[in-house]
Amino acid sequence: MKSLEAEKPIRVLQIGMTRNIGGLETYLMSQFNHLDRSQVTYDFVNITAEYDIVFKEQILKAGSQIYGVKSRHSNPVQHYWQWIKLLHHIAPQYKGIVLNSNSLTYVFPIFLAKFFGIPLRIMHSHNTGYEQKIGFGKKLLIQFNKYLLKWGATNYFACSKLAGQWMFGNGAKFKVIPNAIDCAQFQYNPIRRGKVRKKLQLGDNFVVGHVGRFTYQKNHERVIQIFYEIYKQNKTARLMLIGDVVGDQSYLEKAKYLVHKLGMDQAVLFLGMRKDVPQLMQAMDCFLLPSRFEGLPVVGIEAQAAGLPCFFSDTITKEVGITNLAYFTSLQVPSKKWAEIILKESTKNRVDTEEAIIEAGYEIGEASKRIEKWYLEH
């Protein structure tokens, strides 16, 4: 049998793609689309095989594989047994396996990959906090998994310095892989803007945009409160909420209740999960992301690429601020003050930020070449 180093393309198994279009999924697909697949290519494992992963058709059309294992939450025994059977069958084909994760509560694929001899075993951190309070049992599990990782992982990746320090510890060695984007998709175009605004019946309305799943992390209650302070001053203002529910429906229900309670039913657009975020960003006048925590939000880079003034909470890593369009404000600051800052800084004309994004290393073409080179050299 030929050695993996002599075979082309190098095959890497990616874990982390779900049925939702989130930052992690967008990052993985964007990178996948820009790889030179004669050199390096990705296959995917769907770890909740009860549902299809997003971008399934595109992945299969490109000639890559999608393997499935049952969710560990619905059937843990089957989940782990299916993993064992899968890697027993396919491990010799792969030089690397990457677990893209928001927490250390699950590291089993890395442990198993070592057992089956996959040479590169990478844990990739995409977050800086937990959705829920961590009880004693989960704390023990996380500590145990840290030991498993030290034994099983060959490399640590992170979407930002903060995400790496949070998951792996301050003294750990990890490689920052920027959540790069395709700048051309987001570049401001007044004609596209006009078409999207016409379709959404926005006219000359001042539009505040937000992209994010309805979860504790994304802090929709604060998004709505800040927008309410804008709405009190400008009744033609509109809030565009793009994103779906993941698990707990109560976050969406609470958001809708608060909008109704504040008398803004006509002013807030709940658009759900969308595949046309680049087009929708054309219609916005600013972008608002007061998250409780983030790894490095891809949407923050995308919004800057669209030339939008971006208003972030200071709990988000400053690494996202790659242009002079990024503003950071504490969550302790009242919503009225947030609104004042937004209205003041959103009067500027849209600018082309492509050069700044390329210089910061967030353009997907160049970023994909760097990750290709890394796999070829290791």
- Tell me: the pLDDT tens digits for 325-340? 999 999 999 999 999 9
Measure the CA–CA gap between 120 and 130, rounded to whole angstroms: 27
238 plus 280 within the same structural domain: yes
pLDDT of 200 over the 50 cut = yes
**Range in 104-113, 124-133, 229-238, 292-301 with the lowest mean pLDDT:** 124-133
97: which residues sit within 8 A by CB, 6+ positions away?
Answer: 12, 13, 15, 109, 110, 113, 118, 120, 121, 122
Tokens 């033609």 map to which residue?
236
192 plus 70 within the same structural domain: no
107: which residues sit within 8 A by CB, 6+ positions away?
Answer: 99, 101, 123, 145, 148, 149, 152, 153
Average pLDDT over residues 13-21: 91
The CATH number assigned to the domain holding 336 equals: 3.40.50.2000
The confidence score (pLDDT) of residue 107 equals 95
124 plus 225 within the same structural domain: no
Q: Please report, rounded to a whole number, the percentage of residues in the chain having pLDDT higher than 90.
A: 83
Q: Is 185 exposed, middle or buried (0-12, 13-18, 19+ CB in 10 A)?
A: middle
pLDDT of 297 over the 60 cut = yes
pLDDT band at 2 (very low <50, low <70, confident <90, very high): very low
The confidence score (pLDDT) of residue 145 equals 87
113 plus 141 within the same structural domain: yes
Average pLDDT over residues 296-311: 95
The confidence score (pLDDT) of residue 134 equals 75
What is the count of structural domains for the chain? 2
pLDDT of 123 over the 80 cut = yes
Residues 88 and 67 sit within 8 Å (Cβ to Cβ): no
Average pLDDT over residues 63-69: 97
The confidence score (pLDDT) of residue 132 equals 66
Average pLDDT over residues 89-112: 95
pLDDT band at 6 (very low <50, low <70, confident <90, very high): low
The confidence score (pLDDT) of residue 1 equals 38
190 plus 91 within the same structural domain: no
The confidence score (pLDDT) of residue 142 equals 87
Average pLDDT over residues 292-315: 94
Whole-Å CA distances, 268 to 33, 71, 204, 230, 315: 34, 35, 15, 12, 25
Tokens 């003294």 map to which residue?
171
Which structural domain range is residue 19 located in?
4-179+363-377
148 plus 274 within the same structural domain: no
The confidence score (pLDDT) of residue 350 equals 86
pLDDT of 131 over the 80 cut = no
164 plus 268 within the same structural domain: no
151 plus 99 within the same structural domain: yes
79 plus 150 within the same structural domain: yes
pLDDT band at 247 (very low <50, low <70, confident <90, very high): confident
**Range in 48-62, 118-132, 191-205, 218-232 with the lowest mean pLDDT:** 118-132
Cis peptide before 92 (omega within 30 of 0): no
The confidence score (pLDDT) of residue 4 equals 52
Measure the CA–CA gap between 303 and 322, rounded to whole angstroms: 11
368 plus 305 within the same structural domain: no
pLDDT of 301 over the 70 cut = yes
Measure the CA–CA gap between 331 and 344, rounded to whole angstroms: 18
For residue 238, list its beta bridge partners.
207
Alpha-carbon dihedral angle through residues 28, 320, 251, 107, given to the nearest 10 degrees: 50
Q: Please report, rounded to a whole number, the percentage of residues in the chain having pLDDT higher than 70.
A: 98
237 plus 348 within the same structural domain: yes
pLDDT band at 242 (very low <50, low <70, confident <90, very high): very high
pLDDT of 34 over the 90 cut = yes
162 plus 199 within the same structural domain: no
Mean of per-residue pLDDT scores for the chain? 93
pLDDT of 138 over the 90 cut = no
Whole-model pTM?
0.87
